[in-house]
Amino acid sequence: MIEFFLKLFSIMPLKLNHWVGTLIGRLLYLSNSQSEQVVRKNIEICFPNLTKAQQQDLIKKSLIEAGKGLSESGFVWFNSFKHNAKHIVKTKGAQYLQGDENTILLVPHFGCWEITARVVSLHRPTTFMYKELQDKKQNALLLSLREQQDLYMAAANKKGVLKLQRAFKDKQLIAILPDQYPGEKGSVVSPFFGQNAQTMTLLVKLARKNKAKVLMAWAARLDKGKGYELNIKPVNILSSTGRVEDDVALMNQAIEQLVKTKPEQYLWNYKRFKG
């Protein structure tokens, strides 16, 4: 059933796809869904200075963007990489992807990270770390849709970390979504929007160990299904102290600065402050 809907979304023009995603988001907002409850709690925590009306408006917009994220998944996965790339109407910072130096892409849950992975891999082979699903059949389907052409996937476990190290040796880009809940192992508590958030340490540790440059990468959605703007921006997340805690704090600050540009496009229905 999931695969059927993903394929249905894939044949829609992007404008129609995002219109359907908007309807899904409005339904999530009006139905007092679990997503709505999580988004509401996160926004109230992170934007306490907004009025209740402003918070409500951001909650609604965030759920609409989350709905678009659901519908566009099929549009990205069941179409070719070149088809995806046609919908990137503007790219900033592509020159930073060139060369063969060790490079890590810091990819927050912002905009459409799925299309970010695919389009970046057209510039340079990329190994992307992902979190495995508990359902083995769904995970196998997801892996088959993601791991194509010069885009390779590494599970978020010890084997996956070794795969990332091999990717460095092969002069590939590696990409990590750093704002997933990592559990207590391999993480530190670090400020995010003024709140303590359990935050992974893997990205900053890999950057230091491999003397890698770090690029933040995101594809912002444009209004009315007009496409995406791909952005590649160097960020400094390695502190002068050399302490992992300070590195992670800089990483969270960089993500927070991005989120503030279009807060509705961040994945607020993710339990960022879990634990």
CA distance 201 to 178: 8
Helix (H) and strand (E) counts in the chain: 10, 9
The SS3 of residue 112 is coil
Tens digit of pLDDT for each residue in 35-46?
Answer: 999 999 999 999
Domain boundaries along the sequence of the chain: 2-265
Instruction: Give the 3-state DSSP-derived string for 178-211, with helices as H, strands as E and coil as C.
Output: CCCCCCCCCEEEEEECCEEEEEECHHHHHHHHCC
Percent of the chain past pLDDT 90, that is, above it, reads: 86
Q: Are 55 and 13 in contact (CB under 8 A)?
A: no
Please identify which residue in the block is written with the tokens 């060139």.
98
Q: Give the pLDDT of residue 183.
A: 76
pLDDT band for position 27 (cuts 50, 70, 90):
very high
**Burial tier of 89 (Cβ tally within 10 Å: 0-12, 13-18, 19+):** exposed
H-helix or E-strand spanning residue 129? strand 126-130
Q: Give the pLDDT of residue 201.
A: 96
* Residue 6 amino acid letter: L
Tens digit of pLDDT for each residue in 125-183?
Answer: 999 999 888 888 888 988 999 999 999 999 988 999 999 999 999 999 999 999 987 77
Supply the pTM of this predicted model: 0.94
Mean pLDDT of the chain: 95
The SS3 of residue 139 is helix
